[in-house]
Amino acid sequence: MQILRYVLMAIFVLLCIVATVLVLMQEGKSDGLGALAGAAETYWGKNKARSMEGAIAKWTKILLVLFFVLAIILNLSVF
């Protein structure tokens, strides 16, 4: 059982590093004064889910859910 705990801890550390990098790669949510003039409604604003930024946001959510699940599993006293 101790080997399984070490493997899960290694996966947990890798997940932490990848999640941190993905969070840092995301752009800020503030549009500044461009939102007042309607600049937020561009092609990339409408199709954000299909862009690289949308993919990064999706993978960040998935990795953070895995992070919390793995954190709960590692804190159980079963191992």
- pLDDT: which is higher, 65 or 79: 65
The mean per-residue pLDDT over the stretch 4-8 comes to 92
Residue with tokens 């941190």: 20
8 A C-beta contact, residue 64 and residue 19: yes
For the chain, domain boundaries: 51-79
**CA neighbor of 59 nearest in space, from 17, 14, 9, 23:** 23
Digit-coded pLDDT (tens) for 41-51: 555 555 665 78
For the record, the structure tokens of 7 come out as: 């493997």
| Among the listed residues 73, 57, 64, 56, the one whose alpha carbon sits nearest the alpha carbon of residue 8 | 73
Per this entry, what is the length of the chain? 79
The reported pTM is: 0.69
